[in-house]
Amino acid sequence: MSESEARPTNFIRQIIDADLASGKHTSVHTRFPPEPNGYLHIGHAKSICLNFGIAQDYQGQCNLRFDDTNPEKEDIEYVESIKNDVNWLGFEWSGEICYSSNYFDKLYGFAIELINKGLAYVDELSPEQMREYRGTLTEPGKHSPYRDRSVEENLALFDKMKNGEVEEGKMCLRAKIDMASPFMVMRDPVIYRVRFATHHQTGDKWCIYPMYDFTHCISDALEGITHSICTLEFMDNRRLYDWVLDNITIDCQPRQYEFSRLNLEYTVMSKRKLNQLVTDNLVSGWDDPRMPTISGLRRRGFTSASIREFCKRIGVTKQDNTIEMGSLESCIRDDLNENAPRAMAVLDPVKVVIENFDGEAEILNVANHPNKPEMGTREVPFTRELYIEREDFREEANKKYKRLVLGKEVRLRGAYVIKAERIEKDEEGNITTIFCTYDNETLGQNPTDGRKVKGVIHWVSAEAGIPAEIRLYDRLFTVPNPGAADDFVSVINPESLTTKQGVVEPSLADAEAEKAFQFERMGYFCADSKDSSKEKLVFNRTVGLRDTWAKIGD
Ligand code: ATP
Ligand code: MG
């Protein structure tokens, strides 16, 4: 990571500064705790940059911990993708990867401790009854008739649960706290339930699984986490977090701090919804370039530096907010404008024949970046037959149109000035060929007789260019907050992917996947990591040259 990525500041870092200054802590230990039930998305990146970024800047540690207490929804594929994405974002976890499931034995022991202290009981209310007994925000709950069981009875029943002698949903272990608490999470929360599911880490060893609230705080304490950072929806859960740690024998007291989650316009961030997009084949996979996932953004051509920069720009606060897509895009645009080599590609080709050009191709040397000579040059063949963009030619046009017009001149980028002499059309009136002449005195200089040529257009040699499929992406949804729609699938943008059959300059034959180029005048594009091959090039548009989102509503 470069030195220029200056250290951010935010309220969590201020808390840490104070804890270090007061001597409450001498070092900082954070963790990033994803549940392996989906791929990471840009919201997770915010949490990753916060947790790993703090560890980096304070010479502390950050664990990667899989919060894997829900075997039915989890999968090893997600574990692998998450490790990969964290590394790709530029972060290293300290020590071994952690799994909450590593602590199942210890968690079980702590549950027994709570039972022994009269602070947990085995309940037999059905899930519906339990809901009914829980009360509402305005009414206190009722005690379960099983609440006052003896310690012995509770131990015996919990043992039966553990030994597979109890059906799913028939019994669960609940913490005995306060059925009248204004915090619903404190109304005797379930801490263990029966699930006959094979776990991706522990196999069939367990048929009881601890709940998130019980597991998370204990995992934090066992790992010596100092600052347990999570999103605001866990604010009330902090009571339970502290209650559990206060009532078991453990000599570490991590503190939970909440920040607001990232919401982005025109996309969804719920893993359940993202999963549905994938399983219902509404996108091509978790790494579809239209997805807000790390792997999707990467495949689309986003750099990890641009995502880190985005996380820095949005900051960390407690205010709920929704960020405009343009703000993410401006981060990648700033990066690529600076760092992406230039190349030429024609997305919607029409043929140009240079009638006064004879013989072999002429190899031109073209700069890879207009302001960075250190990025070198590349060879671009200029030939008698070329392609230009169909929209870059008109039979007639006013002065504002700075491209090729019949009878007028235009410059070809990095090459010569050409003049359109005549055209040929097919039976439907579509232009098939534009016949031109070129002025061979104009390579890298203006016409010597003072003729002014204002426009510059891009082009590709028809003989040497390579056909390529070019995928243009638009926002995945038609409304800014698809998550709020009754049916988010109904607001998917049917035009979120448009495919073009274009032609690219020959130097792009070996374009490395995911490494973006600026296709002159067209935007930033990278070769697709899954579908592009020597036999068939496929490019993804990462982002356009300018902010087109800002136009919405004009
Ligand atoms: P779900 O979508 O199923 O509710 P989740 O978003 O809570 O899941 P986790 O895997 O539990 O997903 O998240 C891991 C960490 O990333 C948590 O600490 C969570 O707070 C954080 N996180 C998740 N989504 C966002 C977001 N949109 N913005 C910031 N942090 C997030
Ligand atoms: Mg979660």
Chosen domain end from 426, 458, 490: 458
The answer on 398 and 335 residing in a single domain is no
Q: What is the CATH number of the domain that holds 321?
A: 2.40.240.10
Q: Which of 73, 83, 142, 261 is catalytic?
A: 261
CA–centroid distance, residue 38 to ligand 1 (Å): 11
Percent of the chain with pLDDT over 70: 98
Closest atom of ligand 1 relative to the 35 alpha carbon:
10
- The preferred substitution site among 10, 31, 47 for testing ligand 1, maximizing ligand atoms within 8 Å of CB, is 47
Determine the average pLDDT of the residues in 388-413. Answer: 96
The answer on 449 and 368 residing in a single domain is yes
For residue 125, being part of any structural domain is answered with yes
* Ligand 1 proximity of 262 Cβ (cutoff 6 Å): yes
Whether 271 is catalytic is yes
The answer on 325 and 399 residing in a single domain is no
Chosen domain end from 173, 189, 210: 210
- Per-residue model confidence (pLDDT) at position 7: 78
For 481-515, what is each residue's pLDDT tens digit? Answer: 999 999 999 999 999 999 999 999 999 999 999 99
The answer on 334 and 205 residing in a single domain is no
- Per-residue model confidence (pLDDT) at position 15: 96
Q: Is the pLDDT of residue 235 over 80?
A: yes
For residue 40, being part of any structural domain is answered with no
For residue 247, being part of any structural domain is answered with no
CA–centroid distance, residue 187 to ligand 1 (Å): 24
Q: What is the CATH number of the domain that holds 205?
A: 3.90.800.10
Whether 546 is catalytic is no
What single-letter DSSP state applies at residue 239? H
Whose alpha carbon is nearest atom 4 of ligand 1?
Answer: 270
The answer on 485 and 453 residing in a single domain is no
Closest atom of ligand 1 relative to the 47 alpha carbon:
30
Whose alpha carbon is nearest atom 9 of ligand 1?
Answer: 34
For 340-395, what is each residue's pLDDT tens digit? Answer: 999 999 999 999 999 999 988 999 999 999 999 999 999 999 999 999 999 999 99
The answer on 172 and 128 residing in a single domain is yes
- Per-residue model confidence (pLDDT) at position 5: 57
- Per-residue model confidence (pLDDT) at position 3: 45
Q: Which of 31, 149, 238, 271 is catalytic?
A: 271
Angle between helices 104-116 and 212-222 (to 10 degrees): 110
Two tokens, residue 278: 């994938």
The answer on 384 and 450 residing in a single domain is yes
For residue 47, the ligand closest to its alpha carbon is 1
- 78 to 35, 73, 75, 81: CA distances (angstroms): 9, 10, 6, 5
Q: Which residues pair with 98 in a beta bridge?
A: 65
For residue 44, the ligand closest to its alpha carbon is 1
Which residue in 220, 251, 241, 238 sits closest to 29, CA to CA?
220
The pLDDT mean for the chain works out to 96
Q: How many domains in the chain?
A: 3
Determine the average pLDDT of the residues in 239-260. Answer: 97
| Residue 109, helix vs strand vs coil | helix
Structural domain of 269? 262-344+465-554
What is the C-alpha to C-alpha distance for residues 529 and 531, in angstroms, rounded to an integer? Answer: 6
Contact 232/206 with Cβ under 8 angstroms? no
Mark the binding-site residues, compressed into ranges: 35-37, 41-47, 67, 212, 231, 261-262, 269-271
Q: Is the pLDDT of residue 552 over 60?
A: no
User: What is the end-to-end Cα distance of the chain in Å, rounded?
Assistant: 39
Q: Please give the sequence-ordered ranges of beta strands (E in DSSP) within 195-328, or none if there are none.
A: 208-210, 227-231, 255-259, 262-264, 321-323
Chosen domain end from 195, 210, 225: 210
Determine the average pLDDT of the residues in 253-272. Answer: 97
Mark the binding-site residues for L-glutamine, compressed into ranges: 67, 212
Whether 83 is catalytic is no
Q: Is the pLDDT of residue 4 over 60?
A: no
Cα dihedral 72, 76, 77, 79 in deg (nearest 10) = 110
For residue 270, the ligand closest to its alpha carbon is 1
